[in-house]
Structure formats: C-alpha cells, structure tokens
Chain A
C-alpha cells in the first residue's frame, strides 16, 4: 500500500518547475563528439513548482525535529538551532574557495577568529577547522598522533589504541582506519573507567588513549589527571572525544585535563544544525607538540593580512577538499560571539542542571537510574521490570516527543541515554516525565499497548529484517 507518493510518482510527463537561463548554440555532439554523450536521459521527476512544494512540504510534516519536538537524545546534544545563524550564514554564500585570498579577507578573518576562540575554549594551542564531522575529526587526530610517533622513531613499537568499553563505535573504527589495534578497558562499578585495568593496559606499545569526559554514561572521570599522567608516563598520547563537551563548556577545558588532541562536534555543543544526519563539523585542537602535524591549509595571519598556510612540511596532509564546512563554521562563530564566556558557562551549568532534574523526575516516574548519583549533562536509565526500551521508545512517538537514545552505551542492558540540553524549560521536562509515567501505567494495564506502538505516526513499526535481507535502495521505474 503506497499512501504517500515518491516525488517520481508526482507530476506528469512534460511538467517542469524551474527554468535555468538557456543558451542557444551548437549541439553537444558538435562540441564534444557523439561518443562522449549519454544515450538515455536520467529519469528525474517531472513536476510543476506547486507539485514540488506540496511534496517537500508534506514530507517535512512527516518528520520530527528540534523545532517541532522535544528531542532528548543522549550523546547528541539536540539543543535549539538559532534562526539568527541562518541569517549569519547567508552573508557568506557566494564565496568561491579559490578566489584570490586578498579578496576573501572577511571570511578568512572570521575563520581565524573561530580558530582562536575554539583554542581558548578547549585549552589547546592550535586548531584545524578542516574535518567535516566528528568521526572525521577523530581520524584526523589519531593520524596526527601516528605521525608524531613515527617522527619520534616509535611508529613500529606503538601499535595499540586504548578505548573504554563504553566508547562510541567511531572510536575503535577510527583506530582501525588509522592502522591500529584496539584494546578495550572496562568501566568500573562506579561508572568510571576501571583505573587499575587502565593502568595495567598502558605500555610501550600504546600509541594513544581515546576518552570522552564526561564519559558516555554522563559521568565525569574524576581520576582524569591521574589517567593523563599515567598515559604520558608511558609515552602515549591522550585523545579527547568532544561529543560530551556540552557538560563542561565554558567551565572546564580538555587541554587543562591533560589531553593532547581534541575534536569538537560543532553540530552538538555549538548548535550548528544536525540537518537530518549532517553536515556536521569536527574541528580538531592540539597542543603545541602536535601542531606541526595539523592538516593543511590552516588560516594564518601575516601582519594584518589573513592567509591560507600550506607550507607545513610535517602535516599529515589533507583530510578533505578546500578548508572546511565553512557554512557551519560561520554559524558556530555567530553562536560563540553571541554567548561570550559568560554565556558558555551558563550553557553547561544549565545543561547539567536540566539533566539532573530530569533524572529525578524519571526516577519518580518509575525508571531505574543505572548510576544513581549526580551526573553531568546526560544520564542512563533503564525501564522497570521486564519492559523493553525499544517498546517504550515507540510508545513515546505517539505523544509527539522523541525518545532518548536507545541501546547505547552497550555496557548497560536496555539502556536509555537521556540528554535534555540547556535550551529546554523545566515545563518541557515535567511534561516528558509525565508522559513516561503514563506510558508505564498503560503498559502495566495492557500488555499489547507497548507492542502495538506507535499507532498514530505516519508509518508504524517497520520490517527492518526484509529491508536488510532484500535491500531495495532505489526506486524501480515501470520502465525497468
């Protein structure tokens, strides 16, 4: 049953919406040669402008978003995306990356300023704005560490990266892409890395330790200074996954904790839009000893001129084309300039306040809190007595709220990771807790209530098994 059309199923042969400027002239065959041309045109939609508008407007209505719905996804920092930032970005649209840098001094000054602001916020010495996403920043950071060890003649010896067992999957995946083996260390019963296991795992073969702080349980690693000392004592480098920076932004800095490399997720902490999955932006920061390895180019200053520095002989090279996701870098810059130091301090303070408040409310509603103590900007809960996280998540959808992150981190069974962020009011959190309480009540009264959820969404539970067994990844036209 197809109750909502694909764009290919709208319109009619011969319809069109936009008309580009048309240039008369010789045929393509004359200019390029017949052999260069395609035989059959691509089958793109043929819709009028109104067909087009109806389609994508109606599709937007089949979509939850921060603008429309509370979205407390742990580890994602779904804070409000200010509309002012869209206006900010508009001023920098018609810039070509290869235009003469002397005629791009405005955007270069902005990028230089952002490099400086992010260095200050993280307590690092140098910043690259190049990586396109958090995972991309991770790869950049680990590659720099590898280059560092090789330059010191220790490349062969140091083959291992250590991650906590609660780490996000990108951490070990990144380490593999960088040619390393991964060793996991366990989380202790207090929710922090097991310090004895950690110190035992360190050795002359350790290239790097990848940590998040607070960790993926939303708990601050209190022994961080001891951990960074231990890692440095064996000559390893310490890598900070910045996914959870919203807990401490403006109040504590990874550079001060002893980290050598940091990546930031501007789409989390600095509210550049998630966009339904991207583009993100993942700048990296380093201490001075790693600065020579940063990807090129960097934005530099010579007197009062801003320049693109390419002459860095020990750079790991390029991670992507051009300079970075500039459109989003402008948005992040606007955010930092709007908030200032005081505003950033307020962000983490209220993010942590909201998370602890919601923890209390969820406990009241009947949920188990995995580590029942003061947490930071997020916490992990579990459903009561035999109920499944998945089912509760589906029931929430009918109430117009997005579920929390489910089944992460892997080290907690039936995990629900909740991060409200600082941009939500207490009333929103109260309402969420009330909905959760209601869901539990109804689940107790009627076992099918959860199993049949959701009922009111545009589509209901999906057959993911068939989707994976018999993948259909594009539309099949009748003419196929």
Chain B
C-alpha cells in the first residue's frame, strides 16, 4: 500500500514485540463507538490514473496565455536554476532547524534571506519570513500597538483591500480601532494629520491601484504624532524605487511572491517584515542569528526564541509558529541568481513594459487613468464592470484585468499589470481583445458574449 512499507511479516513481528495479538488491540483506548466509521472517499488512484485526473482538471484552467494581472501577484521571469536549487530534497523535506548542527543549510540560507531583505528595504532587521504580505501587515500593526501602547491604526484605502480585511480580522479581537484615509482624485493618498492616539500609519507603495505614494511625507506625518510608519512595499520595485529605510519607515512589510515564487493560484508565497533596530524585541516570527561553535567556526542558529509561542505561550508576541521557509528560499536563490543587475533589469523591464502598455492602449482609445507615476500596474476605466470585462477577455484568450473594487468610487474599471515578460505580441493581443469587447474608442462595438 502506498508509502507504508510493512509486509504481513513485519506486522506480525511488531505485534509480538509489543505483546498484543492484533493491531486493533492498539486502539483499545478509543471508545468503540468512535472507531472505524465508514468513510465516503473516492477510490484510491494509482500514479498514472492520478496524473491523468489532474491533467483533466488542469485542462479547464487558463494558463500560459498573455497575462496582465496584478493585485499583489504577478508572473515574472524565474530562471530554471532557481527551482532546481531551492527544491532539492534536503531543503524540501527538512524540518524547522532546531538542531542547528545538522541544519546549517536551512539556517544559513535564511540568514542570507534576512540580509537580502534588509538590503532591499534599507532597514537593518528582517525576520525569517511570514505567511503572506497581508498577515505581515496585520502583525506589523500589532507590533506598533505593543510598542506605542496606543489603540488605533490609520490605514490608506489604497492599501490592498484584502490586506485591510485581514487587518480588520486581526485587530477586532483586541479592540483596536482602524481609521481609513480616503484617496484623492489622483488615486493616491493625501498626507493625513495623524492623531496622538494613533499607533501606526499604514501606506502601500506602489498602492493597490498601481500608483506611487509620497512616502517621505507619510513618514513625517506619522512621526510628528509619535506614531510608526508601516510601509507596505513591492520588493521587486525596491530594485529601483527609494527604499523604506531612506525615508524613515519604522517597519517595511509586503509579499514576496514577485521575487521568484510561481503564482500557484495565490499561494504559498511569503510575507516579509523588516524593522529598525529599536523594534528588535517586538519582532514576531522566527529570526536566524550568527554565532560561533565550540571550535570557533562561524555558524547560524535560531535566536531570540524567548519571544515565541513555544516559550512565552500566552505572552508571546504572536502565535506564529512557522515561517514560509521554502518560499523564502526560492526568493533567496532567485535574488542570488539575478544579482543586483538582473533584479534591476527585471524591475526596469516591468516599468517600461507597463508604460508601453498604457501608451499603446491610450493611443488605441482606451480610457487609461491619467496618472503616470506607476510601477507595474495602472487603472483602465471600462464601460462594462471589471469582472465582466475580465471574463470577456478570458474568452478571447487573454488573462487581463483585476476588477476595481467599488469602494474607490471611480466607477467601472480594472487594473492592468505588465512585467518584463510582456511582449509586443502580448500587448497587441490585449489591444485587439479590448477592441473586440468594445472597450476602446467612444462607441461600444457590438459585443458577442
């Protein structure tokens, strides 16, 4: 039977050593009314059948077509060497590195990850990764509340709506209030007046609609009131954009999918959190530190564990028990593969392609939102609602358009993203498809389906 090596002979031998007659004797403690209920599960499949079944499922998913979807996940170049190295069996099937002497592979690569995230964000102290960007933002808000002893956080509406939902879920049980800063007509966040009851101001850059925010001004506004600035950032964009450390952010968080993790329908990727020095003891999650062994060798070890749940229990900084190690490793290997030059080329390619796309669509008569300060993504206003446009485009073989949430109050629209992988042919395909569905020009063409 799959993956269980025991023959009948093995079972007999084991039972003899244990001193019972039957395997069921080992389940004598389970009340008999609970034992062995009938289970209605599909019949087992062998390897060939299973893969055929999965192929049939996958055939009903649209993959490998021109793609212009963003909203926190993007399809970027991942060189072949990245998954081959990160997915070696020793990394995939290892446990958390509690026995450091035999876990230097995981520990050192995590130290390298922490260093790279620190370099990208310009802040000194990174943890070993978290579940995703959204929960990292929520944990950052909790950190700010612990640090300042204040009970309100301020968040821009241009922070990803799903991130704000997660923030709400995490803050509700602790009675922490959320104040939302509404956007200006430019679809960017006005610099708010921050009250002295506010623990942190949370701003995303580039924001959910794709546009750059005035982060130095945000930092000043937060600090003027003794609050923290939590910058929610795109780590690939940081290859070209000013880093949070340079404008005085206290915490930089975000999602790392764009650094080398396949899209996988939304997960798993990883979240990251990088903080300034003074916040070290408040940092949730695992951290790896450098030390020496008894012979004086440099070595790496999980450290500052006394903050964590397995020691502090009810007084832990967070209940977080794991990191997204393997996904973070993909990013680590990928960043090393690309190097500073390759990463910058990817970021520049993304910016240029996104701007080329916007220009091409504008020339073709599309209603591209008039804000030119965007990294990978921008708003296209549409006649039909965003989800309908997306469906129509999908039927024409193009994956495009994250529907604009109604809360932004600018009517129907989508955001469109491009990356360094976007080609001229892709742009032509999208333009043609938009024309077909009547989203170019002043008069709607007749739309079929």
Nearest CB of chain B from residue A376's CB, rounded to whole Å: 8
Given contacts A61-B90, A177-B173, A426-B13, contact A318 B322 (CB under 8 A): no
Q: A43-B119, A106-B60, A403-B99 are in contact. Are A460 and B295 (CB under 8 A)?
A: yes
Is the pair A60, B111 in contact by a Cβ cutoff of 8 Å? no
Tell me the smallest distance from the CB of B398 to a CB of chain A, in Å.
10
Bound Cα distance from A354 to B15, whole angstroms: 10
A102 neighbours in B (Cβ, 8 Å): 391, 394
B191 within 8 A of A: no
Contact of B92 (CB < 8 Å), options: A65, A69, A222: A65
Binary contact track A341-372/B, C-beta < 8 Å → 1, others 0: 11111110110111011011100000000000
Query: CB of B126 within 8 A of chain A?
Result: yes
Q: Which of A79, A88, A459 has the largest count of B CB atoms less than 10 A from its CB?
A: A459
Check if A98 sits within 8 Å of B165, measured CB to CB: no
Chain A residue contacts of B173, Cβ below 8 A: 143, 146, 177-179
- Tell me what chain A mostly uses at the interface: helix, strand, loop, or mixed: loop
Closest chain B CB from A333 CB (angstroms): 9
Is A276 within 8 A of B134, CB to CB?
no
Residue A229 lies at the interface, judged by CB distance under 8 Å to chain B: no
Bound-state CA distance A61–B112 (Å) is 17
Q: Is B340 in contact with A318, judged by CB distance below 8 angstroms?
A: no
A474 touching B126, Cβ below 8 Å: yes
> What residues of A have a CB within 8 angstroms of the CB of B329 in the complex?
275-276
Over the window 8-51 of chain B, the binary record of Cβ atoms lying under 8 Å from chain A Cβ atoms (1 yes, 0 no) is 00110111011110010111111101111111111111110011
Contact A338 B50 (CB under 8 A): yes
Among the 9-residue stretches B180-188, B259-267, B428-436, the one with 4 or more Cβ atoms under 8 Å from chain A is: B259-267
A322 CB contact (under 8 Å) in B81, B267, B316, B332: B267
From B62-70, B150-158, B223-231, B440-448, the one touching the partner chain is: B62-70
A-B contact pairs, 30 of them (CB 8 A): A17-B336, A18-B82, A25-B352, A32-B373, A38-B241, A42-B116, A46-B341, A63-B105, A73-B95, A88-B51, A97-B73, A99-B69, A100-B390, A106-B56, A219-B29, A251-B30, A253-B34, A274-B93, A274-B96, A275-B327, A276-B96, A316-B169, A320-B267, A321-B255, A326-B264, A340-B41, A343-B1, A374-B28, A376-B29, A462-B292
The stretch among A193-201, A231-239, A417-425, A440-448 that forms the contact with chain B is A417-425
Q: Is A188 an interface residue (CB 8 A)?
A: no
Identify which of A33, A63, A97, A256 contacts B263 (C-beta below 8 A): A97
A95-123: CB near B (< 8 Å → 1, else 0) gives 11111101111110110000001001101
Across the interface, A173 reaches (CB within 8 A) one of B114, B316, B351, namely B316
Are B93 and A273 in touch, CB under 8 angstroms?
A: yes
The CA-CA distance from A364 to B33 in the complex, in Å, is 35
- 9 A-B pairs closest in CB distance: A322-B266, A63-B105, A275-B326, A97-B266, A340-B44, A18-B79, A279-B268, A25-B352, A106-B57
Chain A residues with CB under 8 Å of B343's CB are 42, 44
A284 at the interface (CB under 8 A from B): no
Docked-complex contact A222 and B61, CB < 8 angstroms: no
B312-331 CB mask vs A (1 if < 8 Å, else 0) is 11111011111111110100
Set of chain B residues within 8 Å of A278, measured between Cβ atoms: 129, 268, 322-327
List of A residues within 8 angstroms of B372 by Cβ = 31
- Give the chain B neighbours of A78 by CB distance below 8 A: 95
**C-alpha spacing A324/B120, complex, angstroms:** 27
The proximity string for A residues 193-235 relative to B, scoring 1 for CB distances below 8 Å and 0 otherwise, is 0000000000000000000000000011010110000000000
Which B residues from 372 to 422 make CB contacts under 8 A with A?
372-373, 375, 387, 390-391, 393-394, 399, 402-403, 420-421
Specify which of A99, A175, A253, A320 is in contact with B166 (CB 8 Å cutoff). A320
Q: Is B128 an interface residue (CB 8 A)?
A: yes
CA distance A179 to B108 in the complex (A): 36
Point out the residues of chain A lying under 8 angstroms from B369, CB to CB: none
Other-chain contact of B41, A98, A121, A173, A402 (Cβ < 8 Å): A121
Q: Is the CB of A79 within 8 A of B3?
A: yes
Residues of B near A323 (CB, < 8 A) are 265-267
Tally inter-chain residue pairs, CB-CB below 8 A.
675
Asked if A318 contacts B289 (CB within 8 A), the reply is no
In contact, A49 and B337 (Cβ under 8 angstroms): yes
User: What CA separation (Å) do A330 and B297 show in the bound complex?
Assistant: 41
Q: Are A473 and B114 in contact (CB under 8 A)?
A: yes
Which of the residues B75, B92, B286 comes within 8 Å of A94, measured between beta carbons? B75
- Taking a contact as CB atoms under 8 Å apart, the answer to whether B4 and A350 are in contact is yes
Residues of B within 8 A of A92 (CB): 58, 61, 264-265
Q: Which interface residue of A53, A341, A354 has the most chain B CB atoms within 10 A?
A: A341
User: Is there contact, CB below 8 Å, between B2 and A95?
Assistant: no
A186 within 8 A of B: no
Q: Across the interface, do B4 and A422 meet the contact criterion of CB distance under 8 Å?
A: yes
Could you tell me if A53 and B132 are in contact, using CB atoms closer than 8 angstroms?
Answer: no
Query: B294 — which chain A residues lie within 8 A by C-beta?
Result: 460-461, 463
Nearest CB on A from B273, distance (A)? 12
Task: State in angstroms the CA–CA spacing of A463 and B416 once bound together.
Answer: 51
Asked whether B314 lies within 8 Å of A173 as measured between CB atoms, the reply is yes
Mask for A446-462, Cβ within 8 A of B = 1, else 0? Answer: 00000000100111111
Given the interface contacts A31-B351, A56-B88, A222-B31, does A169 sit within 8 Å of B10 by beta carbon? Answer: no
Given contacts A338-B44, A425-B10, 5 further A-B contacts (CB under 8 A): A3-B297, A18-B81, A277-B323, A334-B50, A374-B25
Instruction: Quote the shortest CB–CB distance from B89 to chain A (angstroms).
Output: 4
Q: Mark A57-100, 1 if CB is under 8 A from B, else 0.
A: 10111111111110101001011111010111101111111111
Task: Please tell me if the beta carbons of A94 and B63 are within 8 angstroms of each other in the complex.
Answer: yes
Within 8 Å of chain A (Cβ to Cβ): is B243?
A: yes
CA of A396 to CA of B84 in the docked complex: distance in angstroms?
30
A19 proximity list for chain B (CB < 8 A): 342, 345
Name the residue on B nearest A318 (C-beta). B165
A339 within 8 A of B: yes
| Minimum Cβ distance to chain B for residue A9 (Å) | 10
Contact A132:B131 (CB < 8 A) given known A97-B265, A173-B318 = yes
Contact with B along A3-16 (1 / 0, CB 8 A): 11011100000011
Interface string of B148-172 (1 = CB under 8 A from A): 0000000000001011011011101
Determine how close the nearest CB of chain B comes to the CB of A383; give it in whole angstroms. 16
Task: Determine whether the beta carbon of A62 is less than 8 Å from that of B104.
Answer: yes
Asked if B102 is an interface residue, CB under 8 A from chain A, the answer is yes
Are B60's CB and A109's CB within 8 A? yes
**CB-nearest residue of chain B relative to A275?**
B326
C-alpha spacing A7/B85, complex, angstroms:
13
User: Closest approach, in angstroms, between the C-beta of B271 and any C-beta of chain A?
Assistant: 9
The smallest C-beta distance from A179 to any residue of chain B, in angstroms, reads 4
Residues of A within 8 A of B119 (CB): 42-44
- Contact of A386 with B by CB under 8 A: no
Verify B111–A474 contact, CB threshold 8 A.
Answer: yes
Specify which chain A residues have a CB less than 8 angstroms from the CB of B55 in the assembled complex.
91
- A139 to B2 Cα, complex, angstroms: 33
Whether B314 pairs with A56 at a CB distance below 8 angstroms is no
Asked whether any CB of chain B lies closer than 8 Å to the CB of A412, the reply is no
Q: Does A397 contact B (CB under 8 A)?
A: yes
A248 at the interface (CB under 8 A from B): yes
- What B residues does A45 contact at CB under 8 A? 335-336, 339
